[in-house]
Amino acid sequence: MIKYNLIQKVNPRDLEAPRKYYAVKQPQGDVSERELASRISRETMLGVVETSAVIEALLQAVPDLLLEGKLVRLGDFGSFRLTISGEGAESPETFNPSMISGPNLIFRAGKEFQDKLNQVKYSRANNS
């Protein structure tokens, strides 16, 4: 269940327009790597220590592979890739790498992951 608050916001395209209320996701806590490993271990035949080791290895391998320019596919979980953005140049000769502002990480959910996310239900938080 995703909890939300209502926030009144101005329209940035028309500052004179009446403000409208928009749903904003309310933070509902976080989960540590250890808690994630514990939850995964209950679903597998691996212990918490082994699961933590696999998560740690994933945290090492994925960024390294992305820095090699690879797209990292994790099956139905999804895929990670880097894109770059920056300033344009008048010609190829005037372009230099300092015009690149840096990588952007893109995650695209796999079908099974997205199907699960599509089942989301919303609930207005008590304090909104």
* Per-residue model confidence as pLDDT tens digits over 34-91: 999 999 999 999 999 999 999 999 999 999 999 999 999 999 999 999 999 999 999 9
Residue at 101 is within a domain = yes
Number of domains in the chain: 1
Residue 97, domain extent: 71-110
Give 85-112 pLDDT, tens digit per residue.
999 999 999 999 999 998 999 999 999 9
Model confidence, pTM: 0.75
Residue at 38 is within a domain = no
Residue at 92 is within a domain = yes
Could you tell me which residues come within 8 angstroms of residue 63 by beta carbon, excluding any fewer than 6 positions away? Answer: none
